[in-house]
Every structure is written in C-alpha cells, then in structure tokens.
C-alpha cells in the first residue's frame, strides 16, 4: 500500500536540487523567527560553497542577518532569467 512518512521523506532527500543545476536562479530565504527575507544569487553561492552543494544545505547553513537564527527558515528557488522577454508584451502604446 502506501509507505511511511519516513520513507517519503527519505525519498525526497535523495532528489535535492544541486546548485550546479540552477546557476541562473536565486534562492529566496525567509527566516522562520523574524520573517526577514533575503534573495541570494545561486552563481555567487556556487563560488562560496561549491557546485555540489544543494539548495537545502544552503538553507540549513544560512544565518539570518537580522536575528542571527540559523536553519529556521524556508526557501524557494526563483528563476530570474529572460525578464526582458517576459516584459515585451507589457508595453503600452499611444492611444
């Protein structure tokens, strides 16, 4: 039938996103305690922690600059490329 919660979590941990697979992205990290929000460039993170590090490992090591809490946070991977293309249809012409 269905696996246990531990089986599901173990399966998830084997598929964590390596930084090398998302170099043109940003990590959006929000502190769980004070709700401070930070945007980190993945390309810069690769230079600091290496390309084999995962987004989850960065999240665990991240210390909030506001309250100094470490590891108590959530993160999202944000794609930041091609914003100029996304805005092409947003131009307003003269009436």
Q: What does pLDDT average to over the chain?
A: 84
Token duo for residue 43: 């390309």
Instruction: Tell me the three state secondary structure of residue 94.
Output: coil
Per residue in 7-39, pLDDT (tens digit) is 666 655 556 899 999 999 999 999 999 999 999
User: Which of 18, 36, 19, 25 minimizes the C-alpha distance to 74?
Assistant: 36
Residue 41, in any domain of the structure: yes
Residue 85, in any domain of the structure: no
User: Which of 44, 30, 16 minimizes the C-alpha distance to 73?
Assistant: 30
Residue 59, in any domain of the structure: yes
Residue 72, in any domain of the structure: yes
Token duo for residue 22: 């998302």
* Cα dihedral sign, 86-73-41-51: negative
Residue 11, in any domain of the structure: no
Structural domain range at position 35: 16-80
How many structural domains are present in the chain?
A: 1
Whether the pLDDT of residue 40 is over 80: the answer is yes
Residue 95, in any domain of the structure: no
Confidence (pTM): 0.69
């Amino acid at each position: 039938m269905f696996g246990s919660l531990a089986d599901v979590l173990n399966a998830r941990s084997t598929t964590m996103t390596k930084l090398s697979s998302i170099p043109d992205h940003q990590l959006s990290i929000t502190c769980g305690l004070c709700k401070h929000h930070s945007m980190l460039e993945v390309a810069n993170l690769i230079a600091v922690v290496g390309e084999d590090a995962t987004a989850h490992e960065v999240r665990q090591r991240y210390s909030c600059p506001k309250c100094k809490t470490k590891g108590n946070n959530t993160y999202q991977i944000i794609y930041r490329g091609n914003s100029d293309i996304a805005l092409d249809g947003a131009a307003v012409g003269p009436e």
